[in-house]
């Protein structure tokens, strides 16, 4: 019971805390979006299609900040659309980090992502 109250307080404090990691339900939603929406261009397994491969290998060496910016703002002049109406910039950060290091199980990871520098 006590831990339930703590969880509730944590959930309420979440936006204020400034942490970049989305809540678990939202993480699942974002990963579903990655497979369905992003997969329509980047391939069902993100190995490439109309858009380039988004596997950790393919993205090796690319800074997560720039991948996040591409997800959030899109790439004008290319078919890569902006997703800022669908997700927050913190969520774009989180997705970019998922792409660079998918969790071994392929399921929702629990690690927090680094905070955006002010």
Q: HSE, CB side, 13 Å, CA atoms: give it for residue 46.
A: 21
* C-beta of 3 vs 60, nearer to ligand HEC: 60
Closest distance between ligand HEC and the C-beta of residue 101, in Å? Answer: 14
* C-beta of 75 vs 115, nearer to ligand HEC: 75
| Number of CB atoms found within 10 A of residue 44's CB | 10
The residues, ordered by sequence, that sit 6+ positions from 28 with a Cβ below 8 Å of its Cβ are: 108
Q: HSE, CB side, 13 Å, CA atoms: give it for residue 85.
A: 2
* C-beta of 19 vs 78, nearer to ligand HEC: 78
Applying CB under 6 A, the residues found at the interface with ligand HEC are 33-34, 37-38, 40-42, 50-52, 54, 59, 62, 67, 70-71, 75, 78-81, 83, 95
* C-beta of 3 vs 85, nearer to ligand HEC: 85
Closest distance between ligand HEC and the C-beta of residue 102, in Å? Answer: 13
Distance of alpha carbon 111 from its chain centroid, rounded?
12
Closest distance between ligand HEC and the C-beta of residue 100, in Å? Answer: 9
CB 37 within 8 A of CB 118: no
Closest distance between ligand HEC and the C-beta of residue 109, in Å? Answer: 16
CB 118 within 8 A of CB 112: no
């Amino acid at each position: 019971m006590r831990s339930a109250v703590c969880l509730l307080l944590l959930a309420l404090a979440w936006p204020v805390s400034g942490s970049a990691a989305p809540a678990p339900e939202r993480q699942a939603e974002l990963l579903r979006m990655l497979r369905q929406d992003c997969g329509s261009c980047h391939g069902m397994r993100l190995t490439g299609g109309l858009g380039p491969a988004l596997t950790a290998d393919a993205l090796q060496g690319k800074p997560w900040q720039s991948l996040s910016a591409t997800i959030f703002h899109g790439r004008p002049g290319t078919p890569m659309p902006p997703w800022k109406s669908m997700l927050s910039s913190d969520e774009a950060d989180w997705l970019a980090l998922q792409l660079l290091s998918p969790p071994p199980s392929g399921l929702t990871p629990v690690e927090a992502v680094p905070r955006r520098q002010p």
